[in-house]
Structure 1
Amino acid sequence: MTEMPPGLAELVRLRRRWTRLMTGHPAPVAPIPSLAEDAGFLADAAANPGQLRLKACIPENLPSRAPLVVALHGCTQDAAGFDQACGWSRLAARRGFALLLPEQRRENNGNTCFNWFEPGDTTRGQGEVASIAAMVDRLLRQHGLDAGRVFVAGLSAGGAMTASLLACYPERFAAGAILAGLPHAAARNVGQALEAMFHPAPRPAEERSAAAREASDHRGPWPRLSIWQGEADETVRPANAEELLKQWLPLHGLDPARPSRDEAGHREWNGVVECITLPGGGHDVPPGAPEAILDFWGITEEKVFLVGADGDVREEMQ
């Protein structure tokens, strides 16, 4: 996996809120939830037009109205492998959120890529985006989760599908994260997809943002967004990060030339949109990225056990 440069590593370290003790007593560790499939969802053709698998991790003792995080794997991956590589289920147990991991089937795509380049799968109410939206609704209903705190992150094809979900269902998501992904509607067939990945054409911001606006009747507010891109990525070229900024900054009324922060490969616009570029970074999820993304989203509640002068152990929120 890509090594994080020192400046960004320090940023991630500062933004994390790790469970810790003021004494040598070990902190309790929440059990890691298992990944389970809802087989009934696959058979529900009406709810699942994209014919995806619904896999999820629901931690024990999940608090009422907990957040929901949707994590979308890349090509040649599956839900379990993506979870293991990124540590999503461990983070779900530690930070107290439900985890949804939609999984592509080889019957839909031989390389298990989400079909982010197919209009039939990236149009509101149709195909794969409709299936994932239905999965979200299903978990919200079954587990009493907070509909105002639903988040989505994806890598590569999963990142491009994240962009389409945020465009097609912006009212469903509070924020998203796109890692080595592409803008919504960057391609409409396989040939265009390859061209967009390897030779992204610079398009006017008005065109990019219009594609998102036209994907639904929603007129704002729009989800916050974290963009991650390796500068040495040979699969999805780094220029795609700039095209994503062209799509999402205008939706928030933000000036690309005036970030509120611009240092060490990290640009940020008022805590609403951020873009992190990694020198030497390849086509993968950098170490520490999931934790940093959760912090950007505001999913930072972690239990901290403090030992008082009287020897009593008290549980507080860090």
Structure 2
Amino acid sequence: MSFRLAALAAASASVLTVVGLIALPGSAAANSGSFTQVSSFGSNPGNLAMYEYAPAGLHGGAPLVVALHGCTQTATDYYNDSGWAELADRYGFAVVFPQTSSSNNSLSCFSWFDSTKDTRGNGEAASVKSMVDHAVAQYGSDAKRVFVTGLSAGAGMTADLLADYPDVFAGGSVDSGLPAQCATSQSAASGCQQNNQNLTPAQWGDKVRNSDPGYTGPWPRVAVWQGTSDYTVYPVNATELRDQWTNVWGIGQTPSSTQSLTGGTTESVYDDANGRPAVEVYSISGMGHGLAVNPGSGTAQCGQTGAYFLNTICSSYYTALFWGLDQTGSPSASSSPTASPSPTPSSSPSTSPSGSPTASPSPSGGYTPTCYTAANYYQVTAGRAHDVGGIAYANGSNASLGLDNVFYSHTLEETSAGYYVIADSGCPA
């Protein structure tokens, strides 16, 4: 899939940051329930489609998760590859997969940057709230255990929804996304993606508090997932998200604890006044733009790889633990991922159907380089390069590849994790 978050209008897409996802065939594990579209779910001012998944034999009083796709993705793509359907079967909860379309946005992006669509009671945000109300009634879900997650544009909308409806969502997960209400216009979107906004934690927190004036808590518990080599939604957004939600919770920006997880992931935990995790930030070393997945049959594994579904760690699994979806009772009884088993780190980079990897001998540093030959467009969508003003640049080395399109191709050699150089003259055999 190709995922372009800030290409927000067809006429101006070439001058905005590339952040999209183009669907590839999914290969989700067999699930016990059925993935279906709900034709009527109530008020729909945002013109969204509702899809849902519930495992067979789902009991009343179970949690509900809302999972938002990225630009040019569909609900089916996210159902297939994100791992949430697998976890719904394992732990027993329903999942709502909202879907936007090209009639709303030329690249089917959720409108996280438009205050007429991403604010309480308006547009797409109001449509998602209608879906939640419908699903809670349909499945008898626990209204105090409703959660929302999303990737990139879907993550930007996730942060907005947490701010808009803190009375609805008990927790959220912002994956390669942006702080709530970072941009309030299309023209400001790219600046949010790439630049430090130089706001204090209190100013960030005010953007949440002003989204639902008069609300005083309890606040949603927020997970933030970010790759250190993301050149689409820059890592500064994770810092800003941390500042925003720790301020909302009234806690400091120094973590209560940190630990290393699989896939080069560092988890930083920020506890509330009662010593329970309120905000968790997961930084994945060398990972580009996408959702962290880790296919396999292990306890801590889930998801399917593809462009922008990157094989590092199963973020959905650790998010589920953070929210307490593996537990019974209220969200306050939830466990922290710190006690969870970790899978064996994967040494294989995420691959794209467009790339042709060939391994080369291991250098003295012990890293085995891998080469990928593909059109510039597919190098970008696979997370090996990034786009600035319509030009593709190799991640790490920032070597110019030329126009970001399907007509120009290069071979990139990954000489160390997340660091790519041009190797058109050939890679080591």
Length-normalised TM-score, structure 1 = 0.82
Higher deviation after alignment, 85-94 or 156-165: 85-94
Q: Is the Cα–Cα contact under 8 Å of residues 83 and 89 in structure 1 kept in the other structure?
A: yes
Q: Percent identity?
A: 40
Counterpart residue number, 2:290: 284
Q: Is the Cα–Cα contact under 8 Å of residues 32 and 90 in structure 1 kept in the other structure?
A: no
Residue 52 of structure 1 deviates from its aligned partner by 0.4
Counterpart residue number, 1:296: 322
What is the SS of the residue equivalent to 2:318? helix
Q: Distance in 2 between matches of 1:250 and 1:301?
A: 27
Q: Distance in 2 between matches of 1:189 and 1:50?
A: 17
Alignment of 1:42-121 (within 5 A): 47-121=43-117
Q: Is the Cα–Cα contact under 8 Å of residues 32 and 89 in structure 1 kept in the other structure?
A: no
Q: Distance in 1 between matches of 2:124 and 2:113?
A: 11
Counterpart residue number, 1:39: 39
Q: Distance in 1 between matches of 2:172 and 2:91?
A: 17
Counterpart residue number, 1:269: 270
Alignment of 1:252 onto 2:245: no
Amino acid of the structure 2 residue aligned with 1:189? S
Structure 1 segments, 4+ long, off by >6 Å, are: none
Counterpart residue number, 1:233: 230
Alignment of 1:133 onto 2:129: yes
What is the SS of the residue equivalent to 1:40? coil
Any stretches of 5+ residues in structure 1 without a counterpart? 2-28, 303-318
Amino acid of the structure 2 residue aligned with 1:131? S
Alignment of 1:212 onto 2:238: no
Q: Is the Cα–Cα contact under 8 Å of residues 121 and 127 in structure 1 kept in the other structure?
A: yes
Higher helix share: 1
Q: Is the Cα–Cα contact under 8 Å of residues 30 and 93 in structure 1 kept in the other structure?
A: no
Q: Deviations over 1:38-92 (max 9, x none)?
A: 1123xx5xx1100100100121110121100010111121111011111211211
Q: Distance in 1 between matches of 2:83 and 2:287?
A: 19
Q: Is the Cα–Cα contact under 8 Å of residues 71 and 109 in structure 2 kept in the other structure?
A: yes
Q: Is the Cα–Cα contact under 8 Å of residues 177 and 226 in structure 1 kept in the other structure?
A: yes
Q: Distance in 1 between matches of 2:115 and 2:269?
A: 31
Q: Distance in 1 between matches of 2:87 and 2:259?
A: 28
Amino acid of the structure 2 residue aligned with 1:150? V
Amino acid of the structure 2 residue aligned with 1:275? V
Residue 262 of structure 1 deviates from its aligned partner by 2.4
Residue 35 of structure 1 deviates from its aligned partner by 1.4
Among 147, 151, 154, the residue aligned to 2:150 = 154
What is the SS of the residue equivalent to 2:163? helix
Amino acid of the structure 1 residue aligned with 2:45? P
Residue 31 of structure 1 deviates from its aligned partner by 4.2
The 1:85/1:30 distance shift into structure 2, 3 A limit, reads: closer
Residue 30 of structure 1 deviates from its aligned partner by 8.7
Q: Distance in 2 between matches of 1:179 and 1:210?
A: 22
Q: Deviations over 1:165-202 (max 9, x none)?
A: 00000010111100011011111122200111122322
Q: Distance in 1 between matches of 2:48 and 2:326?
A: 30
Q: Is the Cα–Cα contact under 8 Å of residues 266 and 274 in structure 1 kept in the other structure?
A: yes
Q: Max radius of gyration: which structure? A: 2
Q: Is the Cα–Cα contact under 8 Å of residues 79 and 101 in structure 1 kept in the other structure?
A: yes
Alpha carbon RMSD of aligned pairs, Å? 1.7
What is the SS of the residue equivalent to 2:34? coil
Amino acid of the structure 2 residue aligned with 1:297? W
Q: Distance in 2 between matches of 1:286 and 1:122?
A: 25
Counterpart residue number, 1:312: none
Q: Distance in 2 between matches of 1:266 and 1:59?
A: 30
Q: Deviations over 1:208-236 (max 9, x none)?
A: 10010010131111000110000000110
What is the SS of the residue equivalent to 1:120? coil
